[in-house]
Amino acid sequence: MENLLKYIRSSFNYTHWIDTKNDVVNPKLQLLDYGIYNVFVTPVDIDGYQNKLEHYSNILQKALNEWSNALNGKIKFKVVFSLQGADIKLYWIRSKREYAARQNWDENTIHKMPVVNMGIVDIEGKPYSDNELYHLCLHEFGHILTLGHSPNPEDCMCGGGTWNPYLTDNDIFVLRLIYFLGSGVSYTDKEEYIKAEVQKFLKNKSNDKIIQNSKAHIKQTKAEIAVDLLSNLETIEEIAKYRLTLQHISLDEAAKKHFSKPQYILPAEVSEQLT
Ligand SMILES: [Zn+2]
C-alpha cells in the first residue's frame, strides 16, 4: 500500500520536464492531453551504430505502443524522422555515469519541447540488449507521461530497479489512475479517493493470484487428461474425441474475465517480437 502511494505521490510531483528552468515544484498533475504525439528521432551519431537507426526506432515504437495500450489508445506516439511537426525530440546517446537515459527540456531549439536522451551504449561502451533498450524507452516515456519513480524494483518506473522489458500492473494502474484524475489536481485534493482506489486495486490483485492459481490448475488437469488419454489412444477417432474433451474443459466466470483482459507484453514475448 505505502509503496504504491509513494509511486503515486512521486507522479504528482513529477513536473520537472515541464519547468526545469524555474525549478518549480508544482504539486498538481501536469498530464499530456489526449492525442497523437510525434517523436522525432535524430540519426544515430555513435561510431559503429549509425546503421541501427531503424532497429532502435522499431524498439522505441513498440515501447510507445505499450504505453498507448495502457491508456486504451487515448494517447499515441508516432516515431518520425523529421523535426517538422515534432512534439518530442529523441537523441541516441552513450550513457553517462549519472544516468543511462534521461528526459528533459531542450532549451536550444526554437520550439521548446521535451527531449529524451536515450542510451544505446553503456558507460563501458557495451551496447544495451534489445530488452534493455526496450526498458529504457518505456521508462523515459513513462516520465513523458508524467509518471514519477516507483520504490518497487519490479516496476518499470523504478529508477535503477530491475530492467524488466514490460510494464507491471502497478505501472498501468498508476498511469490510469492519474489520467483518470486529470490535470490540475493535487494529491491532497484526492487523497481519500486515491487510497480507496489503491485498496481496491490491491484486493483485485490478490484475487488475480487466485485466478492465476486456478489457471495453473486447469493446465495441470489438461496435462493429466492428456497423459491418461494418450496412454489408451489407439484410433484416430479416439484422438478426435480426446481433442474435443480438451475443448470442453470449461472456465469459471472469473477466469474467463481474466483471460479476456488485454494482455501486456511478457519478457519472452518481447524478445520474440523484437527479432
Ligand atoms: Zn527515471
In the predicted model, is pLDDT for residue 161 greater than 90? no
The pLDDT, as a whole number, for residue 24 is 55
Given a contact cutoff of 8 angstroms between Cβ atoms, the answer to whether 38 and 164 are in contact is no
Q: How confident is the model at residue 96 (pLDDT cuts 50, 70, 90)?
A: confident
Q: Residue 154 pLDDT > 90, yes or no?
A: yes
| Rounded distance from Cα 178 to ligand 1 centre (Å) | 17
Domains of the chain: 2-190 (3.40.390.10)
Chain-wide mean pLDDT for the chain? 79
Q: How far is the CA of 182 from the centre of ligand 1 (A)?
A: 21
Look at phi and psi of residue 242 and say left if phi exceeds 0, alpha if psi is from -120 to 50, else beta. Answer: alpha
Answer whether residue 159 shows pLDDT above 90: no
Cα 237 to ligand 1 centroid, rounded to whole Å: 59
CA of 133 to the centre of ligand 1 (A): 14
Q: How far is the CA of 251 from the centre of ligand 1 (A)?
A: 40
Q: Which has the higher per-residue pLDDT, 136 or 248?
A: 136
| Structure confidence by residue, pLDDT tens digits, 199-251 | 999 998 887 766 666 666 556 555 554 544 444 444 455 545 554 554 444 44
Q: Is the pLDDT assigned to residue 259 strictly greater than 50?
A: no
Gap from CA of 101 to ligand 1 centroid (Å): 8
Task: Give residue 159 CA to ligand 1 midpoint distance, Å.
Answer: 5
Residue 88 Cα, ligand 1 centroid: separation in angstroms?
Answer: 17
Could you report the per-residue pLDDT of 109-127, keeping only the tens digit for each?
A: 555 678 899 999 999 999 9
Kindly give the distance from the C-alpha atom of residue 84 to the centroid of ligand 1, in angstroms, as a whole number. 27
How much distance in Å is there from the Cα of 183 to the middle of ligand 1? 21
Pairwise pLDDT comparison (259 vs 241), residue with the higher score: 241
Radius of gyration, CA atoms only, the chain: 22
80-96 burial, b for 16+ CB within 10 Å, e for fewer? beeeeebbbbbbbbbbe
Confidence of residue 101 (pLDDT cuts 50, 70, 90): confident
d(C-alpha 102, C-alpha 29), whole Å? 20
Tell the residue number behind the cell numbers 483485485, with chain if given.
Answer: 204
Rounded to the nearest angstrom, the distance between the alpha carbon of 139 and the centre of ligand 1 is 6
- Determine the pLDDT at residue 168: 95
User: How many angstroms is it from 135 CA to the middle of ligand 1?
Assistant: 11
Per-residue pLDDT tens digits for 78-95: 999 998 999 999 999 999
